[in-house]
Amino acid sequence: MTGALLLELLVKSGGVAAAGLALSAFLGRRPAAERALVLRIAVCLLIALPVFLWIGPSLPLAWLTPPSVEPASAASWSVSLQPMADASVAGQLPAGAPSALLIALAYAAGLLAVGARFLVGLWTLRRWTSQGRTVSAPAWTTPLRRLDADGRTRLIASAHVKTPLSWGLPPGVILIGEDCVSRAAAAEAVLAHELAHIRRGDWIFALLSRLALALFWFNPLVWLLHHSLSARTEEAADALAVAGMDRRLYARVLVDLASTAPFSSTGAALGIAGSHASLAKRISRIMTSPRKTPSRPLTLALSVGALLAVATPLAAIELIPRAAEAAAESVAWTPPAPPVPPAPPAAPERPAQPAKSVQTTSSLIVENGRTIHLDMLEDGERRDIEAARAEARLAADAARRDAQVARREAEAAARSSRDAIERVTRDAAAAAASARVAADAAREHARVAMIDARASMLRGADDMDQGAETMRANALRLRDPARRAEVIAENRARGNEVTHAQLIELSRTLPQQADDMVRSAQRMREQARSL
């Protein structure tokens, strides 16, 4: 791999990732599932980029400063081109530039580092799944049978799992911790979220996103695209989960999971807890988003089309040194041919004979400026002239009749148009009246929905305050050495290693997270009052 190829990959992958992020931000008020779809397409385009570079067409684009080329002298028409010593057409790398081998080794090291983390996480998930036990508690199996119509998704409990996870191709596997089995109140929310991931095929695209990250690990925009897709995926699963359950209960489960278990990710699974930094935003979106958002397929199609319109020509661009292009043009230049002598002027044309103009009256004919009376013509010529006059009169009569017919048809068409306009006007008035009735009903529905949303937001803010108090209480308990010893013993019994330092650090961060949640609750109340 050369530096030029690495630069080309950086530019093209950055363009595709930036286009995906920009279009996802443009759809900011749309459902998270639509924004995640745009980011998924951007990830697929990134993966297809190396294949397109290999087999696709190319659009050469010069990117280096051209050398100065002396214009050829046009004093004579013979040119002698002599080879130049020490001339080089290809651009040279500056001294001290890294070799292709070093660049290839650095790229391979980054690719292996990112890929190895995912493979280790996948191996860990397989080990947890094989060593875990199938959950048989009715508090979990009953909602699982209700939410999973096929009944093929496996629910496994493992002592190594800290937060609920899901992974694998459909029907997939859901992993929960042994301590989570006893939380019957959280069963429906956890299962609804993880089954939403499985139904949407989120794990497949998480794998593809990791592959794109491994291929373009050197591009920070690709990392940003990966994290944005992860966040939108969790929000889309939240929206699908709360569509069939109480959103307040769902938000309370999120807060409880975040306050009792530190966030950890294998890099190869999807979990309900997510990061603590995104928790407040997720809860705010859950409590404020409407249950049903009108579908706008045209907006989504235009966004996807814009992404493809940006990515396709960007992938075809091939960066080439402009110096080589300019040198090739200077070698292949040929002097212009001598001017062709002007052609002699063309011979003047003979003047055309003036056409005979015949003007007929009742008694004379004008021919070539000479007046001839009818009486001076022979009988045959006079009969021809009279016949021509008769034909002209017949043609004029026919034209008048045709004009009358056309006028009658035009009047009939005008009457028909007026009738059609009147019908359209009546139909439009009726449609406008129906639209006004529908608009009044929609306004009333919106008013009722706004009242419900205000009440839901206020209840959600209260739940967030309660969650913050729970987090502060847990932080206070963790400051007690005896309580920390109990937590360490409980985790050691489940096969987890937790230290006093980790629990002390958790006791310090939980109040900060509680403060953030209280501020989010206050903002939610302000938004509710502004509705």
Instruction: Annotate 267-329 with DSSP letters as a single string.
Output: SS-EESS--GGGHHHHHHHHHHS-S-----HHHHHHHHHHHHHHHHHHHHEEEE-HHHHHHHH
- The tens digit of pLDDT for each residue in 424-479 reads 677 767 766 766 776 677 677 667 767 877 777 888 888 888 888 888 888 888 88
Q: Which of 93 and 308 is assigned the larger pLDDT? A: 308
Task: Find the distance separating the first CA and the last CA of the chain, reported in whole Å.
Answer: 58
pLDDT for 186 equals 93
Written as one letter, the residue type at 191 is: L
Statement: residue 34 has pLDDT above 90: yes
Of 410 and 218, which is predicted with more confidence? 218
Which of these ranges, 74-78, 289-293, 328-332, 456-460, has the smallest mean pLDDT?
74-78
The single-letter code of the amino acid at 218 is F
- Mean pLDDT over residues 303-319, rounded? 78
Q: Is the pLDDT of residue 73 over 50?
A: no
Residue 513 has pLDDT above 80, yes or no: yes
Instruction: Look at residue 142 and tell me whether its pLDDT is greater than 60.
Output: yes
Q: What is the mean pLDDT of the chain?
A: 79
Per-residue pLDDT at 69: 46
What sign does the CA torsion over 446, 452, 453, 458 have? positive
CA distances from 267 to 17, 42, 126, 129, 300 (A): 21, 20, 13, 16, 29
pLDDT confidence band for 510 (50 / 70 / 90):
confident
Judge if the upstream peptide bond of residue 171 is cis by omega within 30 degrees of 0: yes
For the chain, the C-alpha Rg in angstroms (whole number) is: 41
| Section 515-521 average pLDDT | 85
Phi-psi region of 222 (alpha: psi -120 to 50; beta: other; left: phi over 0): alpha
Measure the CA–CA gap between 20 and 303, rounded to whole angstroms: 9
Question: Where does the pLDDT of residue 261 fall: very low under 50, low under 70, confident under 90, or very high at 90 and above?
Answer: low
pLDDT at 41: 95
**What are residue 142's phi and psi, to 5 degrees?**
-65, -55
pLDDT of residue 527: 79
Helices (H) then strands (E): counts for the chain: 15, 10
Q: What is the pLDDT of residue 90?
A: 41
DSSP label at residue 89:
-
The full set of domain ranges for the chain reads 3-64+101-325, 379-530
For residues 21-50, average pLDDT: 93
CA distances from 343 to 94, 336, 337 (A): 57, 20, 17
**Residue 93's pLDDT is what?**
46
Q: Which band of pLDDT confidence, cut at 50, 70 and 90, is reported for residue 149?
A: confident
pLDDT in tens, 322-331: 554 444 444 4
C-alpha–C-alpha distance, residues 207 and 37, integer Å:
15
CB distance 203 to 234 below 8 Å? no
pLDDT on residue 139? 94
Maximum C-alpha span of the chain? 144
Does pLDDT of 88 surpass 90? no
Q: What is the mean pLDDT of the segment spanning 356-373?
A: 49
Q: Has residue 124 got a pLDDT over 50?
A: yes
Q: How confident is the model at residue 79 (pLDDT cuts 50, 70, 90)?
A: very low
Average confidence (pLDDT) over 275-294: 79
Structure tokens at 23: 């279009």
Percent of the chain with pLDDT over 90: 34
Q: Give 342's Cβ-side CA count (13 Å radius).
A: 3
Q: Which residues of 341-378 are buried (b: 16+ CB within 10 A; e: fewer)?
A: eeeeeeeeeeeeeeeeeeeeeeeebeeeeeeeeeeeee
Per-residue pLDDT band for 374 (boundaries 50, 70, 90) equals: low
pLDDT in tens, 186-220: 999 999 999 999 999 999 999 999 999 999 999 99
pLDDT at 10: 92
User: What integer pLDDT is reported at residue 330 of this predicted model?
Assistant: 47
pLDDT at 130: 95
Q: Is the pLDDT of residue 94 over 70?
A: no
Among 77, 69, 70, 82, which residue's Cα sits nearest to residue 335?
77
Measuring CA to CA, which residue among 117, 260, 162 is closest to residue 496? 162
Structure tokens at 268: 């190869």
Q: Give the bridge partners for 365, in sequence order.
A: 360, 372
Structure confidence at residue 431 (pLDDT)? 67
Confidence of residue 77 (pLDDT cuts 50, 70, 90): very low
Contact of 223 with 294, CB cutoff 8 Å: no
